[in-house]
Amino acid sequence: DIQMTQSPSSLSASVGDRVTITCRASQSITRTLNWYQQRPGKAPQLLIYAASSLESGVPSRFSGSGSGTDFTLTISSLQPEDFATYYCQHSADTPYTFGQGTKLEMK
């Protein structure tokens, strides 16, 4: 199975900051990498698919990049509603494992 490792596990930042979260796959997954946001008490929501494609309705301050084994999620200017937990997930082959999550907290 392909393992996904996110870093950092937690991150403190302020409104307006630029933040980057990284995700590494244990083997090449080409561009089959997705990013999700989960707010407390809510279901996850798709942000980015295919490494860099923005899901419909997601603000343009979110962006993704990478291919192969190394990927990043960037939020260009943090908004109050962005403080949440973020997960990467590969979809190269089943099982479609998730990273352990990155909790983004307000500084």
Partner 1 sequence: EVQLVQSGAEVKKPGESLKISCKGSGYTFTSYWIAWVRQMPGKGLEWMGIIYPGNSDTRYSPSFQGQVTISADKSVNTAYLQWSSLRASDTAMYYCARRDNNWYASDKWGRGTLVTVSS
Which parts of this chain interact with partner 1 (CB under 8 A)?
Answer: 1, 32, 34, 36, 38, 43-46, 49-50, 53, 55, 85, 87, 89, 91, 94-101
What's the closest the beta carbon of residue 43 comes to partner 1, in angstroms?
A: 4
**68-91 core/surface letters (b: 16 or more CB in 10 A; e: else):** ebebbbebeebeeebbbbbbbbbe
Nearer to partner 1, 16 or 95 (CB): 95
Q: Which is nearer to partner 1, 17 or 65 (CB)?
A: 65
User: Cα dist. 101→9, 71, 87, 96 in Å?
Assistant: 6, 14, 5, 15
Least Å from the CB of residue 16 to partner 1: 28
